[in-house]
Amino acid sequence: MRSVLAQLLALHAPADDMGRIVTYHSVMDALRVGPGAYGSVDVAPEAQAVGERIRDEEAAGLWRSLAGVPVVGELIGRSESPEEAEEACRRELERHARREARKSGVSLEAPAGSAWESVQIARNVHRPTARRYIDGIVEGFIELHGDRAFADDGAILAGIGWISGHPVTIIAQEKGVNLADRVARNFGCPQPEGYRKSLRLMREAEKFGRPILCLVDTQGAFCGTEAEERGQGNAIADNLVAMAGLRVPVVSVLLGEGGSGGALALAVGNRVAMQEHAVYSVLSPEGFASILWKDRTRAPEAAEAMQMDAASVLAGGIIDAVISEGEGPAHENPEAAIAAVRDYVREAYKELADLTPDELVAQRQERFAKF
């Protein structure tokens, strides 16, 4: 903008050659229509020099400003190894999480073994995401894209692969591994097209007789205006109805957060399990506290009241098993946590392999009818 203003000033400044003076409207027409069009004008050499000098000064000032930004400043002027770049992304992701926590005003302190502790662990930015589990469980994974109606949704990572030598369809909610990836994947909050992509692959799996593995990790479906305009509620409802009648085995595992209908849309399975520090609820503790007490800072109290930790959910009969994460949370020993999920999935498919399609549907519907 400053360079454009400089050009305008130079064009209107007194000059020996009066032929170089143009009107304001001519300049505006040139800017609006573009160079080479009828009515455009050439910028005087003096104006070009002024504009280039200001542009160079602005560029130098921009780099000086960026050098003061923690992450960008570390990257300017030197190359990084992949490990260093990954660590820088992890640090930025941690800073983002801390900023969001400060803005919420909710305490992150949690008593050991409490539901609020499980919430904090499930939200830990270093916790392995669905992609890491797919790499450790599935062989030859091939990702498939799009809902064939509107667009692809990065929050849903789906495709086909092999588990123990058998073809399987995998549908997962992926939060992303760094801040840029999380933004691209909408922080794991699916849009309607994500659920329609899921439904498309479920129908495909049913057609070819492939079992389905769903990996759930979302704070909830995206609730923006544009998502509602494209039928978010209908998309989730269609998934629920379709999953209830699928004639192939369906196994769902909650890896981290399991929020509301956005999670349930991938959790109508013959076997449903949670990792040890995963959570499952109708809404977030902050939302619960805001609605019930008009005070989101009471989220830790809400988490206990909602009984959203894995042990409580198992006691309520909502899930079939709690999968151990090993000696510590999954982000501290990811390989052990992934191996435990892999063993559970393999065993679950063995148990379901002898059921006929009609028995699979009847078992799934009976399981959820009691609620």
Provide DSSP, 154-194: TTEEEEEEEETTEEEEEEEE---SSHHHHHHTGGG---HHH
How many angstroms separate the Cα of 160 from the Cα of each of 103, 127, 266?
A: 40, 24, 16
Q: Which of 150, 351, 335 is nearest to 270 (CA)?
A: 351
pLDDT of residue 184: 92
Residue 109 pLDDT: 63
Give the separation between CA 115 and CA 43, rounded to whole angstroms: 67
What is the assigned CATH class of domain 115-369? alpha beta
Report the pLDDT value the prediction gives residue 59, as an integer from 0 to 100: 53
d(CA 252, CA 239): 14
Q: What are the start-end ranges of the E strands in the chain?
A: 139-144, 156-163, 166-173, 212-218, 250-259, 271-275, 279-281, 321-323
What CA dihedral angle connects 311, 319, 159 and 249, to 10 degrees? 150
Q: Cα–Cα distance between 9 and 139 in angstroms, integer?
A: 65
SS3 (DSSP) at 358: helix
How far out from the chain centre does Cα 226 lie?
Answer: 17
Cα(339)–Cα(324) distance, integer angstroms: 10
pLDDT at 36: 43
Q: Is the Cα dihedral 312, 313, 315, 321 positive or negative?
A: negative
Nearest-angstrom CA–CA distance, 307 and 318: 12
Burial code of 198-216, b = ≥16 C-beta within 10 A, e = fewer?
bbbbbeebbeeebbbbbbb
Please report the pLDDT score of residue 371 as a whole number.
77
- The series of mean pLDDT values per 10 residues for the chain, 371 residues long, is 45 44 49 45 54 56 50 46 64 59 55 83 93 96 94 95 95 93 92 96 96 96 93 95 96 94 95 95 90 91 92 94 92 94 96 95 92 77
Torsion over CA: 283, 179, 198, 280 (sign) = negative
pLDDT for 25 equals: 52
- Segments of the chain assigned to CATH 3.90.226.10: 115-369
Residues ≥6 apart with Cβ < 8 Å to 58:
2, 3
pLDDT at 111: 60
Question: CB of 166 within 8 A of CB of 190?
Answer: no
330 within 8 A of 275, measured Cβ to Cβ: yes
CA distance 227 to 34: 37
Given this model, what pLDDT does residue 369 score? 87
Instruction: Please choose, from the candidates 176, 199, 187, 198, the residue with its C-alpha nearest in 3D space to the C-alpha of residue 89.
Output: 176
Measured between alpha carbons, how far is 32 from 319 in angstroms, rounded to an integer? 62
